Amino acid sequence: MAVTVVVGSQWGDEGKGKVVDILAPDFDIVARYQGGANAGHTIKWGDHTHVLHLLPSGVFSEGVDCVIGNGVVIEPKALVTEIQNVEKLGFDLTGRLWISDNAHCILPYHQAIERVQSADQIGTTKKGIGPAYTDKVARLGIRISELIDTEHFSERLQNEIQRTNSILTGAYGVGGLDPDAIITEYVDLGRALSKYVTNTTHFLHHALQSGKNILAEGAQGSLLDIDFGTYPYVTSSSPSAGGVCTGLGIPPTAIRRVIGITKAYCTRVGHGPFPTELKDEVGQHMGRVGAEFGATTGRPRRCGWLDLVALRYSCKLNGFTELAVTKLDVLSGLDEIRVCTEYEQDERLQSHFINDARILDTVIPHYETFPGWNENIQGCKQMEDLPFAARNLVSAIEEFTAVPVKFVSTGPKRSETIHLI
């Protein structure tokens, strides 16, 4: 009985999908515990690229069960489409995919509310994430168990749309939504999803009791955590390891390993402070070579040097037992590599992360500089194949965080990975 957790250590898009896809065959179950279709987890094998938003990144490993836990917010239309796309590739999800009856639905009025309330101010993915979690906490949400109970759902949806329409028109002066069309469409979606719906907490408890191994897959990243991230420029859930227990219903004592996924530099999509952001040609190199465009929204990702102050904070928040350093290949060709080791705030040096967005926005990063390398390292499978400067950077990350690096990713494909276990 053991749970391993994969968590993004930065602002998301660290390569969680790739790492989960590689690890999945060693597990019985892969489970998403928070977030929704704001996530975009890319998996590459052979010439094939697939981006998953709601389905766990274990779907391409035959024989592995996949769970969407109670902590996830589910847009039924997006999920049905995603299931169909995966099944078209020949992966049958019947009897392998389990959706929590307690997970909350994202419905069209959540996206309508987000458009007028927070989308532009925060730079969200516009998937309705914030309003859906708001309704959950306000005890107004509609759960998956209600979606699949047709009569009850129609009544609830009618009432919720009426309530939301009064906000949309009354407070924001925009047109409301037509309940009838939405009810018809979502009743059908509920029917399509019903065969996957179960009490996933019982399912996971039974799995743990039977000695099965579970891989919990985080979405977003620790610096986007609603409590510990750069609020308000965060998502509305708990991507950090703490979210695993509430998002799946499993006890902290079942967690054995926590793997922090860390890009060899930093990226961020949307607004919010980013002390090491680069607006020069080095940042452009990272964006171009790393193909840094959002997997969900297509927006260009902001790029900058690795922030070790932030990474160490993430290590403490999550209790990482190991790190996976991704996209090391993207740094090839840079004359020198910098890593931020301290912040300067009000002329004082500071070695702790500051999650107050207003203050973090004003700090000056202080860097340690390492030599770069010119060799193309894409696809390297052993540490010995890396130039000394690249190995040196990996050692510096280990030393600064005091967490061992167990995986180094040198390209987007499954095979382009160094395993250090």
Give contact residues for ligand IMO (rule: CB under 6 A).
8, 11-13, 38-41, 122-125, 127, 129-130, 219-221, 224, 235-236, 269-270, 295
Cβ at position 106, least distance to ligand GDP in Å: 19
SS3 letters across 7-28: EECCCCCCCHHHHHHHHHHHCC
Is 52 near Mg ion (CB under 5 A)? no
Residue 117: helix, strand or coil by DSSP?
helix
> Which stretch in 11-19, 81-89, 108-116, 135-143 sits in contact with ligand GDP by CB under 6 A?
11-19
* 117-150 per-residue burial string, b: 16 or more CB within 10 A, e: under 16: bbbeebbbbebbbbbbbbbbeeeebbbbbbbbeb
Using CB under 5 A as the binding rule, whether residue 259 contacts Mg ion is answered as: no
For position 412 contacting ligand GDP by CB under 6 A, the verdict is: yes
- Helix crossing, 179-193 with 76-88: angle to 10°? 40
Find the catalytic residue in 13, 65, 135, 307.
13
Cβ 217 to Mg ion, closest distance in Å?
12
Residue 410, contacted partner among ligand GDP, ligand IMO, Mg ion, none, CB below 5-8 A by kind: ligand GDP
The rounded distance, in Å, linking the Cα atoms of 42 and 9 is 17
CB of 133 to ligand IMO, least distance (A): 9
Distance between CA atoms of residues 414 and 61, nearest Å: 12
Q: Which of 41, 104, 110, 285 is catalytic?
A: 41
- Continuous segment of H or E residues that includes residue 39: none
- Give CA–CA dist 63/58, Å, rounded: 9
15 binds, among ligand IMO, ligand GDP, Mg ion, none (CB under 5 to 8 A by kind): ligand GDP
Beta bridge partners of 161: none
Residue 122 binding partner per list ligand GDP, ligand IMO, Mg ion, none, with a CB distance cut-off of 5 to 8 Å that depends on partner kind: ligand IMO
329-348 footprint of ligand GDP as x/- string (CB under 6 A): xx------------------
Look at residues 267, 273, 277 and name the one whose alpha carbon lies nearest to residue 230: 273
Q: Which of 17, 69, 229, 249 binds ligand GDP (CB under 6 A)?
A: 17
10 Å Cβ neighbour count for 300?
Answer: 12
Q: Describe the crossing of helices 150-170 and 179-193 by its angle, rounded to 10 degrees.
A: 140
Which of 32/136 has CB closer to ligand GDP? 32
Q: Is 295 in the site for ligand GDP (CB under 6 A)?
A: yes
- 206 an active-site residue? no
Chosen from Mg ion, ligand IMO, ligand GDP, none, partner binding at 327 (C-beta under 5 to 8 Å by type): ligand GDP
Instruction: Scan residues 274-313 and list those touching Mg ion (CB under 5 A).
Output: 295
> Nearest-CB residue to ligand IMO?
270
411 lies in the binding site for ligand GDP (CB under 6 A): yes
Eight-state DSSP code of residue 256: E
Give yes or no: 104 in active site.
no
Q: How far apart are CA 126 and CA 112, in angstroms?
A: 9
CB-CB contact of 6 with 218 (8 Å):
yes
The residue ranges that bind Mg ion (CB under 5 A) are 13, 40, 295
Q: Which residues bind ligand GDP (CB under 6 A)?
A: 8, 12-18, 40-42, 44, 290-291, 295, 326-327, 329-330, 409-412
